A = this chain, B = another copy of it.
Amino acid sequence: MASVGYGPAFTAILTNQAARAVIEAAIAAAEVTDQRYSVAVVDAAGHLNAFARMDGAPHITIQVTTDKACTAAGFGMTTQAWHDFIKDDAPLATGVPAQIDRIVTFGGGIPITAGGHPIGGIGVCGGHWSDDIRIAEAGLAAIA
């Protein structure tokens, strides 16, 4: 029996160089606002790869950004899409937000993909979640 297998197209990895470029671009976009953000990038397994917290950003944003990135990387779906997915399904609407560790179901987490597969995720927290999405998108533009 073969000792290992080769996944369909999961051979790409998110480099730390790319992750740091995402962080820098997100912070640059955040600096021209009047809000203070944290930004996290995780790998496909949900482990932290790069992170920055702007001066004055609440320490609670550390957990929220990391969990948003983890949610996005884990399922290849934005955190906002999770809200839409669960809102009209009563058992999920009740259960998911409270019962799944590290899940976040409001905007600000976006998967990073290669060949259609998630290879990581970005999470942003500091403004309203609609603002967080904009900063996350600005970060991802660095590697588009």
Residues of A that sit less than 8 Å from B by CB? 1-8, 10-21, 24, 27, 43-56, 58-60, 62-64, 67, 70-71, 74-75, 80, 83, 86-87, 89-107, 112, 114, 119, 128-129, 142-144
A100 with B2: in contact, given A13-B7, A107-B91, A129-B92 (CB under 8 Å)? Answer: no
Q: Is the CB of A12 within 8 A of B6?
A: yes
Task: Give complex CA distance A17, B2 in Å.
Answer: 10
Task: Give complex CA distance A5, B11 in Å.
Answer: 9
Q: Is the CB of B48 within 8 A of A62?
A: yes
A91 with B75: in contact, given A5-B13, A16-B52, A18-B3 (CB under 8 Å)? Answer: no
Binding site of A, secondary structure by majority: helix, strand, loop or mixed? mixed
Q: Is the CB of B3 within 8 A of A144?
A: yes
Q: Is the CB of B50 within 8 A of A53?
A: yes
Identify A105's interface contact among B83, B91, B103, B107, CB under 8 A. B91
Task: Give complex CA distance A102, B62 in Å.
Answer: 12
| Residue in B closest to A119 when the chains form the complex, CB atoms | B4
Q: Is the CB of A93 within 8 A of B94?
A: yes
| Residue in B closest to A20 when the chains form the complex, CB atoms | B52
Task: Give complex CA distance A59, B121 in Å.
Answer: 14
A59 with B83: in contact, given A18-B5, A129-B92 (CB under 8 Å)? Answer: no
